[in-house]
């Protein structure tokens, strides 16, 4: 048995990551390269280990949300293409150019600011807002977009290499959502084609996230921005993912103490749980400061010797209590507890218990939780 030296930790299974990459690549069109979305510390998994492994797997494109993340990927992947999806202060243009980072350009105003601050050409992809309502050039017809984009091609310090947009509801099988996504896709491809007719043939066009990539890959996209499925979770846990994926993160902790309580005994803050009879109660050394949501109090379960034991009472900052009465094997202090991951208790299931999404569960695992890389 491996000796447990941590109180709470997240195991990061790089063979699961490799498995998921293989599964996604199998459905991507031949012309479409995988762009690994590693923003937010690789969705909480630890960007260094994830990017190193992805490089080994031949992934060449990486997407992040800001310059700090871009530079963190650059340290691990000196030759990769690194793309910033969101806003970077335009004053950082020289740093982007120096580190060969590609920036998303969200408006004419932003383009002008980049042009002003850059001391060398900055590589860019232009962001269209085709229906997400978040960032990007807005328009209705291809021509209204193109009229706004043409001035950008005159800016000497912008090296425009691509066009992209983001889908609002690609994870939904609802008929109206499917039509909405198709309209978003049509808009960007029309703009791309119109620019080409005008002599601006861009090397890249991309719009697909995980959901679109695995459900409706479009061979016209040169890149597919793959986030959540690479980490082994579904874009929408109500909809089965049509490719085989495995969770990369498993969040674990240990039992510090086990006791028997009697009928009427209360557990944790606020006395929300009162034992209905004699129960075996185990204290676990993880809590909401580790990113395990307090909203899971009285709702979540965790695995002890393979049995899904209910959380009793409120989740505390650094600890929580489980009812381990149904575990037939003896439960003792030092035993390992699996809070979620590659087992029957998934991040998606926990998310469903309190109205969030698996993305938030994995991104929420806090900084004090060490990430332990395993490769089975």
The footprint of ligand PLP (CB under 6 A) covers 37, 39, 85, 166, 209-210, 225-228, 235
Nearest distance in Å: CB 279, ligand PLP? 40
Q: Judge whether 284 and 254 are in contact, CB under 8 Å.
A: yes
Pick 103 or 209: Cβ nearer ligand PLP: 209
Pick 37 or 118: Cβ nearer ligand PLP: 37
Q: Judge whether 51 and 42 are in contact, CB under 8 Å.
A: yes
Nearest distance in Å: CB 342, ligand PLP? 18
Our answer to whether residue 39 is catalytic in this structure is: yes
Q: Judge whether 220 and 165 are in contact, CB under 8 Å.
A: no
Q: Catalytic: which of 127, 269, 288, 367?
A: 269
- Crossing angle (nearest 10°) for helices 14-27 and 47-56: 50
In the bound state, the residue with its beta carbon closest to ligand PLP is 227
Beta pairing class for 301-304 and 158-165: unpaired
Nearest distance in Å: CB 228, ligand PLP? 4
- E-strand ranges in the chain read 8-13, 33-37, 61-64, 81-84, 101-105, 122-129, 137-138, 158-165, 204-206, 223-226, 249-261, 266-267, 273-274, 279-284, 301-304, 307-312, 320-323, 336-340, 371-374
Q: Catalytic: which of 39, 53, 127, 252?
A: 39
Tell me how far apart the alpha carbons of residues 109 and 120 are, in angstroms, rounded to a whole number. Answer: 19
Tell me how far apart the alpha carbons of residues 156 and 268 are, in angstroms, rounded to a whole number. Answer: 63
Pick 246 or 280: Cβ nearer ligand PLP: 246
Pick 37 or 275: Cβ nearer ligand PLP: 37
Closest CA to 117 of 103, 128, 127, 131: 103
Q: Judge whether 169 and 181 are in contact, CB under 8 Å.
A: yes
Our answer to whether residue 252 is catalytic in this structure is: no
Nearest distance in Å: CB 207, ligand PLP? 9
Nearest distance in Å: CB 42, ligand PLP? 11
Tell me how far apart the alpha carbons of residues 26 and 5 are, in angstroms, rounded to a whole number. Answer: 39
Pick 209 or 222: Cβ nearer ligand PLP: 209
Active site residues: 39, 269
């Amino acid at each position: 048995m491996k000796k447990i030296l941590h109180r709470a930790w997240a195991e990061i299974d790089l063979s699961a990551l490799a498995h998921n990459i293989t599964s996604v690549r199998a459905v991507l069109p031949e012309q479409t390269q995988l762009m690994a979305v590693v923003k937010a510390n690789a969705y909480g998994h630890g960007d260094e280990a994830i990017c190193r492994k992805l490089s080994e797997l031949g992934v060449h494109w990486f997407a992040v949300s800001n310059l700090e993340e871009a530079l963190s990927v650059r340290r691990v992947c000196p030759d990769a293409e690194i793309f910033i999806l969101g806003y970077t202060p335009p004053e950082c243009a020289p740093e982007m150019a120096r580190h060969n980072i590609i920036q998303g350009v969200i408006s004419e105003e932003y383009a002008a600011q980049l042009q002003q601050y850059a001391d060398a050409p900055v590589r860019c992809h232009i962001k269209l807002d085709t229906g997400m309502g978040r960032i990007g050039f807005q328009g209705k017809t291809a021509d209204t977009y193109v009229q706004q984009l043409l001035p950008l091609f005159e800016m000497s310090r912008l090296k425009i290499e691509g066009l992209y947009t983001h889908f609002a509801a690609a994870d939904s099988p609802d008929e109206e959502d499917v039509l909405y996504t198709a309209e978003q896709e049509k808009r960007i491809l029309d703009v791309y084609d119109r620019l080409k007719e005008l002599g601006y043939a861009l090397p890249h066009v991309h719009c697909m996230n995980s959901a679109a990539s695995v459900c409706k890959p479009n061979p016209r996209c040169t890149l597919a921005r793959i986030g959540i499925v690479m980490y082994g979770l579904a874009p929408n846990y109500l909809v089965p993912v049509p490719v085989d994926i495995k969770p990369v993160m498993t969040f674990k902790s240990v039992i510090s103490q086990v006791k028997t309580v009697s009928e009427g005994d209360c557990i944790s803050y606020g006395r929300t749980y009162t034992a209905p009879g004699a129960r075996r109660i185990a204290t676990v050394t993880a809590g909401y400061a580790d990113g395990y949501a307090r909203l899971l109090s009285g709702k979540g379960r965790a695995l002890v010797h393979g049995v899904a034991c209910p959380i009793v009472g409120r989740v505390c900052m650094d600890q929580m209590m489980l009812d381990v009465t149904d575990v037939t094997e003896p439960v003792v202090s030092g035993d390992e507890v699996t809070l979620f991951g590659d087992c029957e208790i998934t991040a998606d299931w926990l998310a469903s218990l309190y109205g969030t999404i698996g993305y938030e569960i994995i991104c929420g695992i806090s900084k004090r939780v060490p990430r332990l890389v395993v490769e089975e």
